[in-house]
Amino acid sequence: MIENANFSFDDVAVISVELHEAPTVVTSDEVDARLEPFYARTEGKPGLLESLAGIRERRQWPDDVTFTDAAAAAGEKAIAASGVDRSEIGLMVDTSVCRARLEPSSAVTVHDALGLPTTCLNFDVSNACLGFVNAMHLAGVMIDSGQIDYALIVDGEGTNQVYDNTINYLNEHGKGIEDIFANFATLTLGSGAAAMVLGRHTTNPGSHQILKGFFRAATQHHQLCVGSLDGMTTDTKALLDAGTELAKLAWDDAGAGESWGGRDRYILHQISEVHTNAMLDVLNLDADKVPKTFPFYGNIGPAAIPITLAHVQDTLSEGDSVLCMGIGSGLNAGVIELRW
C-alpha cells in the first residue's frame, strides 16, 4: 500500500456545508430549442440531454454575477451556519474550475469579499472536478498538524459563456451527430456554488468527523476531456470506460484489508445517469444509498459533491457513514469518509 495516497485524520470534522443555488432554471427542452438550426441542418433529433444523460434542467446565474460572487455567497452561508468567527479561519481555498482570469487567484477576491483576516492563508486549488475533495484533504492535514484551527473551502461555477459558445458553434459549424457527442459534456454542465467550514471534531459539538480516504491517478487519460470557457471536448465513451476502470482499481487497491461497502450514503460526483449507473455497477453500490442532484442541477464540477452533501444533510442521522467519491478529468479519483 502506498501510504501517501491513503490517509486518515485524528481530529478533523466538517462543521458546516452549504449550497448557493443559481436562480435561473434552464430546461433541456430549452437547450434543444436553441439548437434547432443544428438539428434542422443535420436531421438530428433533440432529447438526448434528458433521455441519455438524465438531465432535465440546470441552472444559470444572472449576467452580473461572477464566479467569485457565487463562491463568496456560498462562503458567507457556510460561515454563518458554522457559528465560527471569521477571524479564526486560518485557510481559505477556492477550488472553482471557472475563472475570469489567469492571475491573481480567485481566492483573493473571495478572501476580500468575506473580510477574512490577513493571517488567513488563501489560494486556489485546481484539479478539475476533484478539486473540492483535494482541498478537504489539504485542510484536514493542516488542522490535524495544528497549523490552523479552521478552514473554509469555496467553489463557484457558471455556464452562461460556455453554453453560448458551444450552441453557437454547433449551429454554425456542426456537421452531424458526432459533433453533439464531442460537445455533449458541455451541455450537461450547470451553475452553482458551495462552501464548507472544517475544524476540529473535539472542540465543535455536532460536527461531522472526517475519518480517512485515498487518492489514485490515471493520467495517461489526460486528453479525454479538455475544457475552457470556449467549450469542452470529450471522448464520451472512452472517458466513461477509463473513469469507471480507475474507480474500480482505486476501490479495490485502497480497500485491501478493508471493505468500502456497507456505508450508509455514497455522495458520487454528479455527471449523468449513464455515469452513475456505471459506477453503481462496477462498485456494486445500492442505488437507494446514492442521491442524485444532476437531474435538476446538471454537472456543477467540483461543487457537485458539496452541493449534493448539503442537499441531503438533513436526511442523515448521527453516526451515519458517508463516502464522498470524486473523480476529475485528467484522470484523478479520490474518496473521503465522514462519520455524520
Number of Cα atoms under 13 Å in the Cβ half of residue 260 = 27
- Answer yes or no: 103 catalytic: yes
- Answer yes or no: 120 catalytic: no
**Which residue in this structure is represented by grid cell 436526511?**
315
Integer angstrom CA distances of residue 226 from 222, 307, 314, 319, 328: 8, 23, 36, 39, 11
Residue 300 backbone dihedrals phi, psi, to 5 degrees: -105, 30
> Which one-letter DSSP state was computed for residue 152?
E
**CATH code: domain of residue 319:** 3.40.47.10
User: Does residue 331 have a cis bond before it (omega within 30 degrees)?
Assistant: yes
List, in sequence order, the alpha helices (H) in 85-130: 106-113
Neighbours of 119 (CB within 10 A): 10
- The tens place of each residue's pLDDT in the chain, 340 residues long, gives 457 788 999 999 999 999 999 999 999 999 999 999 999 988 888 998 999 899 999 999 999 999 999 999 999 999 999 999 999 999 999 999 999 999 999 999 999 999 999 999 999 999 999 999 999 999 999 999 999 999 999 999 999 999 999 999 999 988 888 888 888 889 999 999 999 999 999 999 999 999 999 999 889 989 988 888 777 778 888 888 888 898 888 888 776 556 677 899 999 999 999 999 999 999 999 999 999 999 999 999 999 999 999 999 999 999 999 999 999 998 999 999 999 9
What range defines the domain where residue 305 resides?
1-340
Number of domains the chain is built from: 1
Given 18, 50, 57, 129, the catalytic residue? 129
User: Does residue 104 have a cis bond before it (omega within 30 degrees)?
Assistant: yes
Q: Under a CB-based contact definition with an 8 Å cutoff, are residues 113 and 71 in contact?
A: no
DSSP for 210-236, written as a single string: EEEEEEEE-GGGTTSEEEETTEEEE-H
Helices (H) and strands (E) in the chain, counts: 12, 14
What's the pTM?
Answer: 0.95
